[in-house]
Amino acid sequence: MITDNKQFTMYKIQSIALLATATMMVAACGNSNQKKTDGSDTATASTIERVRIEKLTNGTPGPEKKSFFLRITDEVKTDSSRIYTTKSIYNKDTVGAKIEVVDFIPAGIIDGQPSDDVGFTKGKIKITTLGTQSDNLVKALGELFQMPTTDGFTKEVVLPNVFSSNKVNVDLSKKTAYSFKLFLENKKAEPAELFFNVDTYKHSIEFSEKDPSFRAGFISALTGK
């Protein structure tokens, strides 16, 4: 009988141990799934860091209109915005900028028509320097525009007027692309216009020239000179 009691006691201990192990495994799996769920509305830092940085542009120096690509390599979510660190490669240099986009920018296309009343805002997109990499961006643009400059990226915040070319309000938690038109005030010419896209699916910022006539103003806006 004593032997039976000992065997029963050992059985209970083993059962409790197995149950505890199973509980720990379930908890571990739950934590793993939770980490993925928490990042469902935006890429986590570790995911973004693995994204490959690509070339700034396939264009070459000259008068033709050009498009530019910046990869989002880091993202910080605030109460009202997303702050993106963006980088690309031009020749052998890393170029980039920090770009903050306010969430829920109102749609600018209402019933299929542009609406100046709600479409235009200021301060909804902010562009700031990353230091050397932003200086490299200015240098790269100067070379591509055939307007070489020794000026670096301004230490001030660049605050363009923004027109939302979207039919819906911007929701940066969704995996999709949003289009804008930026008007950058500068010290050399009329506000420089360019097309500007934020793609939360591809983790990229893309911008392109509306017209090469805005190049001098664009560089002036980025340098503050």
Radius of gyration of the chain (CA): 26
Residues 93 and 57 in one domain: yes
Residues 165 and 213 in one domain: yes
The whole-chain average pLDDT of the chain stands at 84
The predicted model scores a pTM of 0.77
Residues 30 and 98 in one domain: no
Residues 114 and 151 in one domain: yes
Residues 17 and 70 in one domain: no
The pLDDT tens digits for 45-63 are 444 555 689 999 999 999 9
Q: How confident is the model at residue 107 (pLDDT cuts 50, 70, 90)?
A: very high
Residues 108 and 2 in one domain: no
Residues 144 and 72 in one domain: yes
Number of domains in the chain: 2
Residues 17 and 95 in one domain: no
**pLDDT reported for residue 65:** 96
Full residue range of the structural domain in which residue 7 is found: 1-38
